[in-house]
Amino acid sequence: MSPFALLRRPVVARLLASSLLGRLPTGMVPVSLVLFSRGSDVGYGVAGLFAAAYTAGGAVGQPFLARWMDRTGQTRIIVGGSVISSLGLAALPFCGVVGGIVIAALAGAATPPLEPGLRAIWPHVLSGPDVPRIYALDAAAQELVFVAGPLLVLLANTFGPAGGLYAAAAIGLLGALWFAAAPESREWRPVQVGERHWAGALRPARLRRLYLGLLLAGLAIGTFPVAAAAFSEASGDRGWTTWLVAANAGGALIGGVWFSGRSHRYSPGRVLPWLLVALGFGYLPLAFLPTASWVFPLALALTLVSGLFLPPLLTLTFLVIDRLAPEGTVTEAFAWLITAFLVGSSTGAALAGAIVAQTSASWVFVLAWAAGLIGSLPTFRLLTERA
């Protein structure tokens, strides 16, 4: 079945659309915080603190809320979290610097775990080869969050420097409530287990190895926006940054749609490490591009290619998590993947900034290549060895 045939099923379309709408703040809030800070004359340093607090809150809050969801169900966690997070975003412009940092962290921590919740539902809605297909489509579709999110912020900010934050609060709340109202979410019930281990989804060593590999993949992904900005500026036109980032996301969208119709053909445990290798090598050619305006068309093409491998990588990661997660921890297991990516991407962005300040964007692309290569090592033999 093609990915588009899956989307013709009303239940699939509704779950995916509502989840994406609820996830839009992920792509909106970082940009909104920068624009709000600059519009309020508090500087980039404060904007960075706001964004770091929001990201750190999400990295901590997602596994915690997901573990709670694995024990009590989805509805109360999604509704309560979305209300708290949206109120926090709407209140942040009135809280000053210190209060804003606290509120940003709270809004990030309360963000409802829609991604893990959706991926816990899919095996109950679909079966057989349709599960890896929808995982691939889901991985591709989330690129829309990072394409549409900043555009919505630019539109909302025509109403004032805090417009993006208000829009993110309203859109996130609407999407979360729409998702929570779906019968598939309301009726989802956690697996009842006798005794739960304190480590939850982190108990299996193979899952911890998987998260380490994906943290390094996130590091590679996180370097790209900084490297793209530095490369564009060195080549004479900072405006190309947006086009390079969009090309990377477009490549991911293409890769996800293509892989959706073929994902059931591949063994997750065997192919996953090589996709991490491919992800790293996708960035390496960019390191050898000269910094000149005439090279931008080639840079766009190479950037598009570098984005192709992420959705297949995520698709097979979802399948591995589904198989390795201890009973009663599947939502938490998916949430730890998000945390690994957040930590990795934040680290990658910070390292890229430090490298660009001392050398050039070429070495950032080398770092992305190395991260993918090293990240592949802990992911070998995840599904063939004994636990």
pLDDT at 99: 93
**pLDDT tens, residue by residue, 195-206:** 676 677 888 899
- Please enumerate in sequence order all residues whose Cβ is within 8 A of that of 82, keeping only pairs 6 or more positions apart, or say none: 22, 110, 111, 112, 172, 173, 176, 177, 180
Q: Which residue has the tokens 């300040």?
A: 357
Domain ranges of the chain: 1-192, 200-387
CATH number of 200-387: 1.20.1250.20
268-283 vs 296-306: helix crossing angle, rounded to 10: 160
Dist. CA 289–CA 193, nearest whole Å: 55
Dist. CA 120–CA 135, nearest whole Å: 11
| Banded model confidence at residue 237, pLDDT cuts 50, 70, 90 | confident
pLDDT value at 386 more than 60: no
1-192 architecture in CATH? Up-down Bundle (1.20)
Dist. CA 65–CA 83, nearest whole Å: 14
Dist. CA 159–CA 39, nearest whole Å: 12
**pLDDT tens, residue by residue, 310-360:** 999 998 999 899 889 888 899 999 999 999 998 998 888 888 888 888 888
User: What distances in angstroms separate CA 93 from CA 48, 87, 103, 209, one per listed residue?
Assistant: 15, 11, 10, 40
Residue 336 or residue 237, greater confidence: 336
Count CB neighbours of 317 within 10 A. 27
Average pLDDT, the chain: 88
**329 phi and psi, to 5 degrees?**
-130, 15
pTM of the predicted structure, to 2 decimals: 0.87
pLDDT value at 167 more than 80: yes
**pLDDT tens, residue by residue, 298-314:** 999 999 999 999 999 99
| Banded model confidence at residue 44, pLDDT cuts 50, 70, 90 | low
Cα-Cα end-to-end distance for the chain: 34
**pLDDT tens, residue by residue, 72-124:** 999 999 999 999 999 999 999 998 889 999 999 999 999 999 999 999 999 98
Dist. CA 289–CA 228, nearest whole Å: 12
